Amino acid sequence: MKKSLLLSLFLIFGISVPLILAQSNAVITGRVSDGILPIAGARVIIQADTAWVTTDSQGRFRLPVDRYRSNPVPVMVGKKGWFNGSWRLEKGRRNAELILAPVPQGDNPHYRWIDPAPSSGGMMGTMMGGGSQTCGSCHENYYDWWKESSMAKTTRNQRVLDQYKDAGAARKICADCHAPAAAVQAPGQTDLLKVAQQGGVETEGVFCDFCHKIKDVKVSFKPGVQTLKFSRIERPSRRLGMMSTRPVMAYGSLADVVTPPMAAGFNPALSKSEFCSSCHLNGRELPGKKTWDYKAVYPDASPEEFQNGRIVPNQWTYREWKNWQESLAANDPNKGQQCQDCHMNWTQDMLPYDKYIVRSAGGGMMNIMIRRLRVRRDPSTIHPHKFEGATVKRLQNTAFLLLRPSLQGNRLSVMVSVTNTNAGHRLPTGVTFRNMLLLVQATDSTGKILSQTGGPKIPEWAGKGSPGKGNYAGLPGVGYARITADDHGNINVPFWEATKIVQDNRLVPRKQDVQNFVFNAAKTRNYITVKATLIYRKSFKKMADKYGWDTGDVVMEKTSKVVYK
């Protein structure tokens, strides 16, 4: 009725309905600039909202605020290369001029890395101590998640340190990923063992301040810090009454973080898979003009993927993810899914969801004082820094096992399919010695194991000897792995000795592998039990025996069926 009346007034008397609507308080308009020139592509958002608008080529924006009840409205702006800005604007504000300050160009090689661990005085100690700021003092939950992750233990990973001693010239690049804060001073020339022994912030693995100082990542086959550009900016402390603060410049994936002493800059790269590629895409470049026949193992690979056979892959997870994404249709629900969506997500054991980025390690009056610094957020915008990878919980939710036995006279046929259901990369992934075993067994009603008469068997690299000691070679089943080799016929060699890949049957995302087995069912009575078990291993058995490691077996899936005679 009201709309009809307004329309009639417009038609009869020429009353400007658009003008009336334009006076609504449900929108804020304005322009983002550096004070002179417009800034296009900036993200304009109401703080803690999940929707935003982007400035046009003239830096202009139109931000709907009808869902926001308070007035004035906290409007935030962020763009890569600029410090985030904040303004409190009245609803209905027109032509607001929002000015951003640029992040200084260049990088400070003498920058003092910020310790991730909370200081003894929590946030109060941080604010009063000037240069004593630590990440965990203000971001307690983030610190607690991170310190239990593999990222916090990269300099103390015993498996890495054991191999490091045998790596020869290749050891020079290990620190580029495992001790990046130290290696950034001398990429490809840093002694990991010395770093691990020296103590200090640089031995804290891949920590908060390191990642949040990264400006750009160049996707390449070089490891770690060799692919990164930084904005390590250190500003002098500022005195605020009794308190002294050292402004902390940090890049982040949120455009609406403006809490002091954080001088935050928006960088969407932190939420993209390319960010992970610095350590999860690398391989050995063969000497001279030597190449390997990559098409024999990867017939669908482009020449670019392995540089025409010049690169033998080691960490290849990013490329596996990219191949999967490129294979998806535009309307596939998994299209656009990033590494962070799985490895920095909420899990059942972490509930209830956290709703705050700032949560001080301090207590008492301090927590009361910092309540105004806390911004309640949608949990979907908060990414726990657990970096969960090949944990038991995640592995047991990654593959699907299907078993179909069929008995015809004295012949037992068993079809087994294994599907990579929940990994956005090959399964298993990571370094070249990760592997997976499918074990298939048939027993009669007395428990006697039926002999295999057809189908694949577990390869020798799964270990010869007693199955009770983790040796499964020769048993009915399949081994899934990427098999390296050198020019002398040796297989499963470390990546720094590999000159080729001779086999790679690991499971591609959302694809299944189907295998058929045959067993002799003669002299069996009553019923036969068929079992299939899928096991993940951190290393090949021979390597585990050499270094005295546990193979790290995890039962990912198991199923069984009974066939009656």
310 found inside a domain: no
Q: Sign of the CA dihedral 522, 525, 526, 531?
A: negative
Q: Are 75 and 88 in contact (CB under 8 A)?
A: yes
Chain Cα centroid distance, residue 455: 37
Best-predicted range by mean pLDDT (123-132, 178-187, 191-200): 178-187
Determine, yes or no, domain membership for 179. Answer: no
Sign, CA dihedral 416-419-425-428, equals: negative
| Helix 317-327 and helix 273-280, axial crossing angle in degrees, nearest 10 | 140
The CA-based angle 168-174-175, given to 5 degrees, is 130
Q: Is the pLDDT of residue 2 over 70?
A: no
**Which residue, of 39, 74, 99, is where some domain finishes?**
99
115 backbone dihedrals φ, ψ, rounded to 5°: -65, 135
Among 99, 125, 160, give the residue marking a domain's end. Answer: 99
Q: How far apart (Å, rounded) are the C-alpha atoms in residues 463 and 170?
A: 27
Query: How many independent structural domains does the chain possess?
Result: 2
* 367 is a domain residue: no
Q: Are 204 and 181 in contact (CB under 8 A)?
A: yes
Residue 240 forms beta bridges with which residues? Answer: 243
- Tell me which H or E stretch contains 343: helix 339-343
Tokens 């609504």 belong to 24
Structural domain harbouring 529: 392-564
Quote the pLDDT of residue 301. 96
Highest mean pLDDT: which range of 64-78, 132-146, 315-329: 315-329
Strand intervals (E) in 356-490: 399-408, 411-420, 435-444, 452-454, 477-485
Give DSSP secondary structure letters for 290-356: ----GGGT-TT--TTTTGGGTEEESS-HHHHHHHHHHHS-TT-TTTT--HHHHHTS--GGGPSPP--
Average pLDDT over residues 525-545: 96
Identify which has the larger pLDDT, 405 or 132. 405
Q: What is the pLDDT of residue 21?
A: 39
Whole-angstrom distance, CA of residue 263 vs CA of residue 266: 10
Asked if residue 233 is part of any domain, the answer here is no
Residue 373 has pLDDT above 70, yes or no: no
- Of the residues 65, 99, 133, the one at which a domain ends: 99
Give the model's pLDDT for residue 120.
66
- pLDDT reading at 288 higher than 80: yes
Task: Give SS3 for 379.
Answer: helix
**From CA 361, how far away is CA 443, in angstroms rounded?**
57
**β-strand pairing of 96-99 with 27-33:** parallel
Alpha-carbon span 532 to 477, nearest angstrom: 9
In a domain, 488, yes or no: yes
Predicted confidence at residue 402, as pLDDT, reads: 98
Determine phi and psi for 544, rounding to 5 degrees. Answer: -60, -40
Given pLDDT bands bounded at 50, 70 and 90, which one contains residue 13?
very low
Confidence of residue 126 (pLDDT cuts 50, 70, 90): low
Average pLDDT of the residues in 429-448? 97
Flag whether pLDDT at 6 surpasses 60.
Answer: no
- Flag whether 446 is in a domain: yes
**pLDDT (tens digit, 9 = 90+) per residue, 237-272?**
665 554 556 678 999 999 999 988 889 999 999 999
The single-letter DSSP state of residue 480 is E
Provide φ and ψ at 192, rounded to 5°.
-60, -40
CB 408 within 8 A of CB 401: no
Instruction: Give bridge partners of residue 130 from the DSSP assignment.
Output: 245
Residue-averaged pLDDT of the chain: 90
Q: For 110-120, what is each residue's pLDDT tens digit?
A: 999 999 999 86
CATH number at 88 reads 2.60.40.1120
The predicted model gives 389-406 an average pLDDT of 95
**pLDDT for residue 438 is more than 60:** yes
Average pLDDT of the residues in 113-140: 72
Decide if pLDDT at 426 tops 70.
yes
CA torsion angle 266 269 216 235 (round to 10): 30
Give the domain CATH number at 499: 2.60.40.3880
Helix, strand and coil percent figures for the chain, each rounded to 5: 25, 25, 45
- At 7, the pLDDT band (50, 70, 90 cuts) reads very low
Mean pLDDT of 382-388: 95
Q: What is the pLDDT of residues 311-355, one digit of tens each?
A: 999 999 999 999 999 999 999 999 999 999 999 999 888 889 999
Please determine, for residue 544, whether its predicted confidence score (pLDDT) is greater than 80.
yes
pLDDT band at 362 (very low <50, low <70, confident <90, very high): low
Residues 53/61, Cβ–Cβ less than 8 Å? yes
Instruction: Tell me the pTM.
Output: 0.91
Which residues lie across from 263 on neighbouring strands? 249
Determine, yes or no, domain membership for 505: yes
Section 96-104 average pLDDT:
96
Whether the per-residue pLDDT at 365 is higher than 70: the answer is no
- Give the confidence band of 515 by pLDDT, cuts at 50, 70, 90: very high
Question: Count of alpha carbons within 13 Å of 125, Cβ hemisphere only?
Answer: 17
Return the half-sphere exposure (C-beta side, CA atoms, 13 A cut-off) of residue 436.
26
pLDDT at 10 over 60: no
To the nearest whole percent, how much of the chain has pLDDT over 90? Answer: 80
Q: Give the model's pLDDT for residue 68.
A: 87
Residue 547 lies in a domain: yes
Residue type, 139: H
Q: CA-to-CA distance for 25 and 8, rounded, in angstroms?
A: 24
